[in-house]
Copies of this chain bind each other. A is one copy, B any other.
Amino acid sequence: MSERASGFTLGEIVARFGGELVGDGSLRILQVSTLEQAGGDQITFLANPKYRKQLHTTRAAAVILHRTTAVDCQRPHIVCDNPYAYFARVAQLLNPARRPEAGVHPSAVVIASIPDSIHVGANAFIDAEVKIGAGVTVGPGCVIGRGARIGDGSLLHASVTVYPDCVIGRNAIVHSGAVIGADGFGIAREADGSWTKIPQIGRVVIGDDVEIGANTTIDRGALGDTVLEDGVKLDNQIQIGHNVRIGAHTAMAGCVGVAGSARIGRRCTVGGGAIILGHLDIADDVNISAATLVTKSITQPGTYTGAMPFEPHRDWMRNAARLRHLENMADRIQELEARLAQWEKRT
Contact = CB atoms under 8 A, between A and B. Distances in A.
A239 interface: yes
A2 B223 CA distance: 12
A167 interface: no
B223 A33 contact: yes
A54 to B, nearest CB: 14
A23 interface: no
A305 interface: yes
A179 B159 CA distance: 10
Give the oligomeric copy count. 3
Contacts of A145: 158
| A109, A211, A315, A321 interface centre (most CB from chain B within 10 Å) | A109
Interface string A304-347: 11111111110111111111111101101100110110011000
A97 B312 contact: no
Contacts of A329: 322, 326, 329-330, 333
A233 B109 CA distance: 33
Contact of A273 (B215, B293, B319): B293
A19 interface: no
Given A159-B161, A195-B251, A235-B239, 17 more contacts: A2-B201, A92-B199, A94-B199, A122-B143, A159-B179, A177-B215, A182-B236, A185-B235, A193-B267, A213-B217, A237-B237, A272-B277, A290-B293, A302-B313, A305-B311, A305-B312, A315-B324
14 contacts: A82-B188, A95-B199, A107-B123, A123-B141, A177-B215, A179-B215, A182-B214, A185-B236, A193-B248, A308-B320, A309-B320, A322-B330, A332-B337, A336-B337
